[in-house]
Structure 1
Amino acid sequence: VKPGRFLRTITTGTVNSSGSFDDLHHPESREPWIPPYIEREGENVDLKRA
């Protein structure tokens, strides 16, 4: 029964860490990174057309 408990502990710990990481990174990193990426694509298109 020890291996089962060990796997459960690892899974729970990983889920908790991922949840905290997403909370910190998702709202702050994803939103600011999307607009600059779109702007860069637009600039590249303008440069290619020019």
Structure 2
Amino acid sequence: MGRVVPDYRAPDSVRLGFSPLTTSFVDIHTAVERMARILEQERHRAFPADAPAFT
């Protein structure tokens, strides 16, 4: 299982980039499920709000 690397935009936005030629509906569904699980389990709180950004 691969990792999801989102682009966080302060104050409260997350951007996921998809390649239309190589991304399937299943890939998108999996990404959304993972994001939902992260939010439900509040795993995102383990990272400081002022963490450096990679944009």
Q: Which has the higher helix share?
A: 1
Higher relative contact order (CA 8 A, sep 6+): 2
Which TM-score bucket, shorter chain as reference? 0.3 to 0.5
Please, what TM-score do these two structures have when normalized by structure 2? 0.35
Q: Which has the higher strand share?
A: 2
Structure label with greater radius of gyration: 1
